[in-house]
Amino acid sequence: MENLQRINFETVLSEQIGADYYENDIIMLKDAAEIPVLLDAHLEGNLIVLCENGNATVYVNGEERQIHENQIFISRPNVVLSDFETSDDFKFSVILISDRLLASSLKDNITIWSNALYVQNANVFDFESRLFEIKTASEKLIQFILCDRDSPFYKEKLFSMLNTFMLQICEQILRNNGSRNMLSTT
């Protein structure tokens, strides 16, 4: 693993993977089939994979992680992802988001994210069908917003959708950990 490439937003976009939406700090792909650029690499961003069907195996810093239907896989920046293998029926969506945009989106709730990913070293979380429904509705709204790029509130509308979705993921993380005791008390 000595020849690891550093993967950033520009690298992913240069692979011409057909991103549904991208800006400097975020890339969103729905119905992704595969992302070969993520193999054997240091990823410079938070990777969120929503598994809608099938299963996958990925190694995170050499530790195996299994991802199954109705689970979210989250990889924090600067970890090594390798040996990403999927079943033939694996269907997933991907969000690659910078730390800056993630912190801006989650605000005070970033402690939930940090506790789960950094303190507890968790990567895979179950999600309820409601999250998939929110994702589907968000995608439709995002497509609607993308058709109106001349709107004076274009970016604000897009980022409000992102904020809602990221908070929903934090709620799923809390549910997976059984309580809201991960919230900051400061």
Percent of the chain with pLDDT over 70: 76
Please determine, for residue 70, whether its predicted confidence score (pLDDT) is greater than 80. yes
181 part of a folded domain:
no
* Digit-coded pLDDT (tens) for 127-155: 877 777 777 777 788 778 878 888 898 88
CATH of the domain at 64: 2.60.120.280
184 part of a folded domain:
no
186 part of a folded domain:
no
183 part of a folded domain:
no
What's the pLDDT at 64? 92
Total tally of structural domains belonging to the chain = 1
Q: Which domain holds residue 33?
A: 5-176
Contact 108, 66 (CB under 8 A): no
102 part of a folded domain:
yes
The pTM (predicted TM-score) of the whole model is 0.79
Closest Cα to residue 123, out of 35, 25, 46, 69?
46
What's the pLDDT at 186? 33
172 part of a folded domain:
yes
Please determine, for residue 2, whether its predicted confidence score (pLDDT) is greater than 60. no
